[in-house]
Amino acid sequence: MIGFIQAFYHVLGLSINATDGDVWGFVAIALILVGAVFMWFQPQAKEQAPKISKQEKVEPPKAKVEVPKVSKDIEVKEAKISFADRLTKGLSKTSQGVFGKLSSLFGKGLDSGTLDEVEELLYSADMGPATVSEIIEALQEKVKKGEFGPDDFKHFMYEFLKSKMENVQKNVSDELFTFKSGQGTRVIMVVGVNGAGKTTTIGKLATKLTAQGAKVVVGACDTFRAAAVDQLQVWCDRAGATMVRAKEGANPSGVGYDALQTALNEKADYCILDTAGRLHTAGNLMDELKKSKAVLQKLDDSAPHHTLLVIDAITGQNALRQAEEFNKTLALTGLILTKCDGSSKAGSAVSIVSTLQVPITYIGIGESVEDLDQFKLEEYLKALLAL
Ligand SMILES: Nc1nc2c(ncn2[C@@H]2O[C@H](COP(=O)(O)OP(=O)(O)O)[C@@H](O)[C@H]2O)c(=O)[nH]1
Ligand SMILES: [Mg+2]
């Protein structure tokens, strides 16, 4: 090292003798230089860091732009899914709930202990006492015969429920789903408690009927709430249906009359009346519906041709009470079962149909137009029992 320093002095033309102290001086200078070079490159490295993160930050918006594309594709696929599949999906909470528990009981084999549990579960499914005892009696016969697994139970329930409802379901008029011209103006009055889904169902129905080429007039007879009328207006505008509306607080019977008059003048194929929600226990409001019906008959003595009660499937046993009262006042011709995509217990639907002998016309499994369809008993039971 001393030799190297001596040579360095010589190159510089210095006649100095290199010593140990010079070596340490050189080492110190070299370290300072290396440190300076390191410090010089450090900020550059730091500057590059944001560049990288900037690039990373630029990436996410690109990904975001693609999201609508993906969701559009999904939407298209969803629309292509058949109603039967949508129904199975919609009813999955119900089929996995009480009905799932029921059929799993039979995995262990059927005995009288199991039957007590079955009875309890049937009650909790809102089946109603008469229906429950009929099922239990029939099952007792099966116990005597022996082997009875979950699948046997499902098939037994399928046949049982079908036999309870099929004769009534045969009475559903096709004109509620399929438009045929030249039938005159068919009047459909929709009733039910608040929030059951009347307005939404009418909106979906009007859309389905106009899509088939039918001329539809909708009467906004729920004059209690301006928001309800506006909600219906949005649906009608979208459906291309004429809406007859009055000021907030106007007489509902008068709106019904005006709507039917308009429908007759325009030779409309359907006149659908949305009524205000009311509790079946409110006598005066129930009488008002009766009056509305009578007022319609001044224009057409056969109107309304259909009086449909909307039932929220989640209502449970109280739904039968509701249906009984509405039926007493209005002589219902059909039921609309909505919100079957929630965790309904489904048993009340069976009780209502078999007790009142009034069929279910439409079934709702969500909020969009595709979520309403004709109620088909076999399709419904298969979805309910996951068959
Ligand atoms: N999940 C679900 N929601 C529904 C269904 N039918 C209606 N709804 C919703 O239930 C709420 C009340 O419906 P609406 O038609 O205003 O009830 P109305 O008071 O009887 O007219 C709204 O938020 C609807 O979107 C259905 O089948 N499934
Ligand atoms: Mg409403």
pLDDT in tens, the chain (387 residues): 677 667 666 766 666 676 777 767 666 666 666 666 556 555 444 434 334 343 333 333 333 323 223 334 334 444 568 888 988 988 888 788 887 788 777 766 667 778 888 898 888 888 888 889 999 998 888 777 777 777 888 899 999 999 999 999 998 999 999 999 989 999 999 999 999 999 999 999 999 999 999 999 999 998 888 888 999 999 999 999 999 998 888 889 999 999 999 999 999 999 999 998 878 777 788 889 999 999 999 999 999 999 999 999 888 778 888 999 999 999 999 999 999 888 777 778 888 999 999 999 999 999 999 999 999 999 999 988 888
Return the best residue to mutate from 367, 370, 380 for the ligand 1 pocket (most ligand atoms within 8 A of CB). Answer: 367
Kindly report the pTM of this predicted structure: 0.78
Q: Is 341 in the pocket of ligand 1 (CB under 6 A)?
A: yes
Q: Is 301 exposed, middle or buried (0-12, 13-18, 19+ CB in 10 A)?
A: exposed
**Beta strand ranges found along the chain (DSSP E):** 186-191, 216-220, 242-244, 270-274, 306-312, 334-338, 360-364, 372-374
Helices (H) and strands (E) in the chain, counts: 15, 8
**In a mutational test of the pocket of ligand 1, which residue from 92, 200, 205, 340 has the highest number of ligand atoms less than 8 Å from its CB?**
200
| pLDDT for the residue numbered 108 | 65
Q: Which ligand is nearest to the CA of 204?
A: 1
Q: Which CATH code is given to the segment(s) 92-170? A: 1.20.120
**Pocket of ligand 1 contains residue 373 by CB under 6 Å:** no
Q: Whose CA is nearest to atom 25 of ligand 1?
A: 367
- Using a 6 Å cutoff on CB, does residue 203 contact ligand 1? no
Phi, psi of 12, deg, nearest 5 = -75, -5
Q: How distant, in Å, are the alpha carbons of 22, 204, 379 from that of 369?
A: 93, 5, 19
State residue 300's pLDDT score: 97
**Residue 299 to residue 279: CA distance in whole angstroms:** 28
The atom of ligand 1 lying closest to the CA of 310 is: 20
* Domain map (residue ranges) of the chain: 92-170, 174-385
What six digits make up the tokens of 264? Answer: 């007759």
User: Which of these, 78, 114, 106, 66, lies nearest to 369 by C-alpha position?
Assistant: 78
Which CA distances in Å does 189 have to 216, 277, 306?
A: 13, 13, 6
What DSSP character marks residue 170? T
The CATH architecture assigned to 174-385 reads 3-Layer(aba) Sandwich (3.40)
Give yes or no for a contact between 220 and 243, defined as CB atoms under 8 angstroms apart: yes
- How would you class 7 by CB atoms within 10 Å of its CB: exposed for 0-12, middle for 13-18, buried for 19 or more? exposed
Whole-number Å distance between alpha carbons of 277 and 354 = 25
If you compute the radius of gyration of the chain from its CA atoms, what whole number of angstroms results?
37
| Fold equal for 92-170 and 174-385 | no
